[in-house]
């Protein structure tokens, strides 16, 4: 599937991965990874962590081992749920359940085993990834992104949109970013407030009792 409408605005790969679902635990809940393992690969291409040839190779591997691909996809959604809960707790300045860290540590050890230092033409060093062998290896860059954010990021900048629940890293100078996107959630909230104001002005007694919007 395509990911039109799924803007990568989290500012960190791990947060963008969490944002493949929105409006969690509400009637408007949105899921962008519906198509199984192939969808996960397409998202990785979309997010820039996987090349087309590598994705094609992994898709072939998944077709040869469908049960394994299904399990990997379920594990990916579970990993996403853990990362979401972790950063949601941080954004709300709440305590982190220790099992989240245990799970992340185990995943992080695997991710590190696939990282390699290389020297670039300008003489500087950088990390690169060994080619994926297991289907689940595509999750490694996401895990690495989460570890880097936890260790090197300013955690007070991890925020959550009060509209759709998307997570983002607020890199604005005055830490003033509230919404995932002002054009989207910000304006919708503004419109709701405006509508509520009109309603209270025109029907002064209608805003009490059950059923109010
Ligand atoms: Zn939002």
Annotated domain spans of the chain: 13-202
CA of 194 to the centre of ligand 1 (A): 18
Q: Which helix (H) or strand (E) holds 12?
A: none
Identify the CA nearest to 50 among candidates 34, 36, 39.
39
The residues facing 168 across adjacent strands are 159
CA of 144 to the centre of ligand 1 (A): 25
Q: Using an 8 Å Cβ cutoff, are 134 and 54 in contact? A: no
Residue in the structure block whose two tokens are 């245990």: 102
Query: Which parts of the chain register pLDDT below 50?
Result: 205-213
CA of 19 to the centre of ligand 1 (A): 10
CA of 37 to the centre of ligand 1 (A): 26
User: Which pLDDT score is estimated for 209?
Assistant: 38
CA of 134 to the centre of ligand 1 (A): 34
CA of 112 to the centre of ligand 1 (A): 33
Please name the residue ranges forming H helices in the chain: 13-18, 37-47, 52-64, 66-91, 98-113, 140-152, 187-202
User: Which pLDDT score is estimated for 2?
Assistant: 75
CA of 180 to the centre of ligand 1 (A): 4
User: Which pLDDT score is estimated for 202?
Assistant: 65
CA of 48 to the centre of ligand 1 (A): 22
CA of 43 to the centre of ligand 1 (A): 20
Q: Are strands 125-129 and 30-31 parallel, antiparallel or unpaired?
A: unpaired
User: Which pLDDT score is estimated for 197?
Assistant: 75
Residue in the structure block whose two tokens are 């959550």: 160
Q: Which helix (H) or strand (E) holds 75?
A: helix 66-91
User: Which pLDDT score is estimated for 212?
Assistant: 34
CA of 168 to the centre of ligand 1 (A): 10
For the chain, the first-to-last Cα distance in angstroms comes to 35
CA of 183 to the centre of ligand 1 (A): 9
CA of 94 to the centre of ligand 1 (A): 20
From the candidate CATH numbers 1.10.3300.10, 3.40.50.10240, 1.10.238.10, 3.40.50.2300, the one assigned to the domain spanning 13-202: 1.10.3300.10
CA of 164 to the centre of ligand 1 (A): 4
> How far apart are the C-alpha atoms of 167 and 84, rounded to whole Å?
8
User: Which pLDDT score is estimated for 206?
Assistant: 44
Residue 183 DSSP class: I
User: Which pLDDT score is estimated for 186?
Assistant: 81
Q: Using an 8 Å Cβ cutoff, are 168 and 161 in contact? A: yes
Identify the CA nearest to 21 among candidates 85, 72, 67.
85
């Amino acid at each position: 599937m395509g990911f039109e409408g799924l803007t990568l605005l989290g500012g960190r790969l791990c947060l963008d991965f969490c944002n493949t679902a929105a409006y969690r635990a509400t009637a408007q809940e949105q899921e962008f990874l519906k198509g199984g393992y192939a969808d996960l690969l397409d998202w990785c291409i979309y997010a820039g962590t996987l090349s087309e040839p590598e994705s094609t190779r992994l898709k072939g591997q998944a077709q040869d081992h469908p049960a394994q691909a299904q399990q990997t996809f379920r594990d990916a959604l579970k990993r996403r749920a853990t990362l979401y809960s972790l950063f949601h707790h941080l954004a709300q300045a709440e305590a982190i359940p220790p099992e989240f860290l245990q799970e992340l540590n185990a995943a992080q050890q695997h991710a590190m085993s696939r990282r390699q230092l290389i020297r670039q033409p300008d003489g500087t060093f950088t990390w690169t990834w060994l080619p994926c062998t297991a289907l689940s290896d595509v999750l490694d860059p996401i895990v690495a992104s989460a570890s880097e954010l936890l260790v090197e990021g300013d955690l007070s900048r991890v925020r959550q949109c009060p509209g759709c629940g998307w997570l983002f890293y607020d890199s604005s100078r005055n830490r003033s970013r509230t919404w995932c996107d002002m054009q989207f959630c910000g304006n919708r909230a503004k419109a709701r407030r405006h509508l509520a104001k009109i309603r209270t002005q025109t029907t002064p007694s209608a805003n009490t009792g059950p059923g109010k919007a």
